[in-house]
Amino acid sequence: MISVIVPNYNHAPYLQQRITSILGQTFPDFELILLDDCSTDGSREIMNGYRGNPRVSHIVFNESNSGSAFRQWDKGIALAQGEWIWVAESDDYAEPTFLERLMAEVSKVPDSVLVYAATWWVDEQGNKMWETPQSGSVNIYNGVDFIRKKLAVCNSIANVSECIFRRDRFRPSETYRYENMRLCGDWFFYSLMAEQGDVVEVCEPLSYYRQHGSNISSDAEHRGLTLLEGANVLEYIIDHCGVKAKDYARGWGKLWVCYERKYNFTSGVKQQVRKRMSSFPAITFWHTLYNLKQWPK
| pTM recorded for the entire structure | 0.94
* Average pLDDT of span 148-173: 95
Query: Taking a C-beta distance cutoff of 8 angstroms, is the pair 11, 72 a contact?
Result: no
Residue 253 clears pLDDT 70, i.e. is over it: yes
Residue 295 clears pLDDT 90, i.e. is over it: no
pLDDT tier, 130 (very low <50, low <70, confident <90, very high otherwise): confident
Question: Tens digit of pLDDT for each residue in 84-120?
Answer: 999 999 999 999 999 999 999 999 999 999 999 999 9
Predicted local confidence at residue 67, as pLDDT: 87
Residue 268 clears pLDDT 70, i.e. is over it: yes
CA atoms within 13 A on the CB side of 137: 4
pLDDT more than 90, % of the chain: 89
- Cα–Cα dist 45/59, whole Å: 11
Q: Would you call 31 helix, strand, or coil by DSSP?
A: strand
Residue 293 clears pLDDT 70, i.e. is over it: yes
Query: Taking a C-beta distance cutoff of 8 angstroms, is the pair 99, 18 a contact?
Result: no
Question: Tens digit of pLDDT for each residue in 1-37?
Answer: 999 999 999 999 999 999 999 999 999 999 999 999 9
Nearest CA-CA partner of 174 in 161, 182, 158, 185: 185
Q: Quick one: CATH architecture of 2-210?
A: Alpha-Beta Complex (3.90)
Predicted local confidence at residue 216, as pLDDT: 56
Q: What is the dihedral of CA 15, 18, 23, 25, to 10 degrees?
A: 180
- Cα–Cα dist 99/162, whole Å: 10
Q: Which residues contact 220 (CB under 8 A, 6 or more apart)?
A: 182, 183, 226
* Average pLDDT of span 260-273: 95
Query: Taking a C-beta distance cutoff of 8 angstroms, is the pair 81, 128 a contact?
Result: no
Nearest CA-CA partner of 63 in 44, 89, 91, 47: 44
Predicted local confidence at residue 219, as pLDDT: 82
Predicted local confidence at residue 214, as pLDDT: 59
Predicted local confidence at residue 131, as pLDDT: 80
Average pLDDT of every residue of the chain = 94
pLDDT tier, 212 (very low <50, low <70, confident <90, very high otherwise): confident
**Range with lowest mean pLDDT among 41-50, 237-246, 280-289:** 237-246
Nearest CA-CA partner of 233 in 168, 169, 150, 170: 150
Q: Largest Cα–Cα distance of the chain, in whole Å?
A: 63
pLDDT more than 70, % of the chain: 97
Q: Is 201 exposed, middle or buried (0-12, 13-18, 19+ CB in 10 A)?
A: buried
CA atoms within 13 A on the CB side of 56: 16
E-assigned strand segments in 9-89: 30-36, 56-61, 84-87
From residue 110, alpha-carbon distances to 35, 84, 106 in Å are 31, 13, 7
